[in-house]
Amino acid sequence: MDSIITYLFLYNQYLLKVISQLILFIVKYIPLKQWAFDDLHSPKYQKFKVDKLPKIIRFEKVDYVLLLAYYKHRYNKTVLPVQRRNGNTIPEKTVCPKCGAPYQYIYDNNGNKGQYQCKICGQTFFETNFVAKPLVLICPYCGCTLQAKKDRTHFRIHKCTNPKCSYYLSNLKRLPAGIKPSEKHKYKLHYIYREFTVDFFKMDLHAISKRASNFSFRKFNPHIMGLCLTYHVNLKLSTRQTAHALFEVHGIKISHTMIAKYALTAAAVIKPFVDTYNYKPSNILSADETYIKVKGITHYVWLVMDACKKSILGYQVSDTRAVGPCILAMRMAFNKFNVFPGKKLKFIADGYSAYPLASQQFELKEDKVFDVTQVIGLTNDDAVSKEYRWVKQIVERLNRTFKSSYRVTCGYGSEDGAHYGVSLWVAYYNFLRPHSYNYWRPLNELDELSVAENMPAKWQMLIALGQETILRMQS
């Protein structure tokens, strides 16, 4: 009996060894199907890739007296003052901004042109004690200092120019065979980091439009305002068509300008309630952007939704497809979590590079670490698309639903109109619109709305809830 157990144990060890050898063979010689469609392994899509964070060396003050004592103890050598043989003098008021060393230990670093260097700590600075490099960015692959190359609207591009960098050499090997040296600029070869010059994490997410007016009904009443919102938002009519419908159906003569003012003010009041409501989201979010027209110019709407509960958690309207509005929309969505799920969060998006770049900024600014899964293409050619295609299709259906709510032929007439139109539509979608997913009931059912007999009354209750939210936020 003991011999059989020993034999089975040895045979099991043999099988494990064979399996490990087969796995190594597959990894080495049989590339996974996903690699053929992964941005990381296709040099044509390298420009859309977001590299990992660099090593950051921040400016920290030290004491030059302690440094002198350390050098004496560690190397048994005294650091002597600078001997000026060229006749250049340093102003006596000059002091090193990092260690506080006096002018006797300061070099004239660039031939009397205003830049100095401390002999004790090695810090370079200018005449006004302005540090030359208060923040040093180091390449995580080769350890060389990154060079600032380009300035964009919201960020500055830093590049590693070391020709022996392992990242650069590995990308060179992935270039197609026979490529000409003059065509290498078409591919992303060097390590790149984007340093943002605008802090999108300090922007107010609940700003109220300056054009919003008060609800002082001298000629009309709250019920007529609810009718305006019902026709304009629920039935997808323009302000002029809403005014025409109110006159033809109800005999109410109101201008389209007054309807626009009602909608703008209602959006400003309801928005804080919609943005701060406790949606209790799941850990699967999906994001996408779609375009709209404002005075004939292309603008973009960013949407972040709960893929399981279908509620819209974050939204932004912007005139550019930059990463800034993407960060703001993701901030709105993440604020809905009482406790951020971290790595448990599944954030699904398309192949646009703004999403991983925004994820990098969340890790750097707010220490929120999560992975962005990008579903690329329209067909399930890889394992990632097969697993998460259903999430991407949900947000695509949301885009189509939104597109049907605004005037496709001529779009919005102003940026304020675009902002309040999207805000009102999100409020309608989350709290008033019946969904087949929830058995033809609203996604988020409110007890206050259950007592309302019709849709105009529900809009009035939403406005009342928004006013309560504003008062609570102000207090």
Band of residue 47 on the pLDDT scale cut at 50, 70, 90: low
Last residue of a domain, one of 166, 182, 197: 197
Which residues, other chains included, contact 416 with Cβ-Cβ below 8 Å and sequence gap of 6+? 209, 211, 264
Domain region containing 421: 269-474
| 120 and 144 share one domain | no
Tens of pLDDT, residue by residue over 411-463, are 788 888 888 889 999 999 999 999 988 889 999 999 988 888 899 999 999 99
Tens of pLDDT, residue by residue over 389-399, are 999 999 999 99
| 148 and 125 share one domain | no
pLDDT value for 204: 73
Report the C-alpha gap between 229 and 458 in whole angstroms. Answer: 10
pLDDT value for 210: 62
Q: Judge whether 32 lies within some domain.
A: no
Last residue of a domain, one of 135, 169, 184: 135
**Which of 71-75, 215-219, 466-470 has the weakest average pLDDT?**
215-219
| 357 and 311 share one domain | yes
| 434 and 385 share one domain | yes
Q: Judge whether 192 lies within some domain.
A: yes
Tens of pLDDT, residue by residue over 302-322, are 999 999 999 999 999 999 888
pLDDT value for 279: 94
| 120 and 148 share one domain | no
| 172 and 300 share one domain | no
Q: Judge whether 291 lies within some domain.
A: yes
Tens of pLDDT, residue by residue over 194-225, are 888 888 887 777 666 666 666 666 778 889 99
Please give the backbone phi and psi of residue 292, each rounded to the nearest 5 degrees, phi first: -135, 175
Share of the chain above pLDDT 70, in %: 89
| 70 and 177 share one domain | no
One DSSP character per residue, 46-98 reads GGG--PPPPEEEE-----HHHHHHHHHHHHS-PPPPP---S-----TT---TT
Q: Judge whether 43 lies within some domain.
A: no
pLDDT of residue 284 exceeding 80, the answer is yes
- More confident call, 189 vs 426: 426
Last residue of a domain, one of 197, 214, 241: 197
pLDDT value for 277: 93
Instruction: Return the half-sphere exposure (C-beta side, CA atoms, 13 A cut-off) of residue 236.
Output: 11
pLDDT value for 43: 53
pLDDT value for 473: 84
Q: Judge whether 337 lies within some domain.
A: yes
Among 53-62, 207-216, 233-242, 308-317, top mean pLDDT goes to: 308-317
| 121 and 163 share one domain | no
Share of the chain above pLDDT 90, in %: 37
- More confident call, 37 vs 153: 153
| 298 and 414 share one domain | yes
CATH number at residue 363: 3.30.420.10
Long-range contacts of 456-460 (CB under 8 A, 24+ apart): 456/223, 456/225, 456/226, 456/227, 456/229, 456/230, 457/223, 457/226, 458/226, 458/432, 459/225, 459/226, 459/229, 459/230, 459/266, 459/432, 460/222, 460/223, 460/225, 460/226
Residue range 252-270: mean pLDDT, rounded: 90
pLDDT value for 130: 60
Q: Judge whether 186 lies within some domain.
A: yes
pLDDT value for 243: 94
pLDDT value for 255: 92
pLDDT value for 38: 46
pTM of the predicted structure, to 2 decimals: 0.75
| 328 and 427 share one domain | yes
Q: Judge whether 39 lies within some domain.
A: no
pLDDT of residue 293 exceeding 50, the answer is yes
Report the C-alpha gap between 242 and 236 in whole angstroms. Answer: 9
What value, to the nearest 5°, has the Cα angle with vertex 236 and ends 234 and 240? 120
Band of residue 288 on the pLDDT scale cut at 50, 70, 90: very high
Q: Judge whether 16 lies within some domain.
A: no
Q: What rounded mean pLDDT belongs to the chain?
A: 85
Residue 291 β-bridge partners = 300
| 108 and 152 share one domain | no
Band of residue 23 on the pLDDT scale cut at 50, 70, 90: confident
- More confident call, 10 vs 362: 362
Band of residue 39 on the pLDDT scale cut at 50, 70, 90: very low
pLDDT of residue 408 exceeding 80, the answer is no
pLDDT of residue 260 exceeding 70, the answer is yes
- More confident call, 84 vs 235: 235
CA distances from 263 to 206, 276, 356 (A): 17, 20, 35
- Counting the structural domains of the chain, the total is 3
pLDDT of residue 90 exceeding 90, the answer is no
| 424 and 461 share one domain | yes
pLDDT of residue 40 exceeding 50, the answer is no
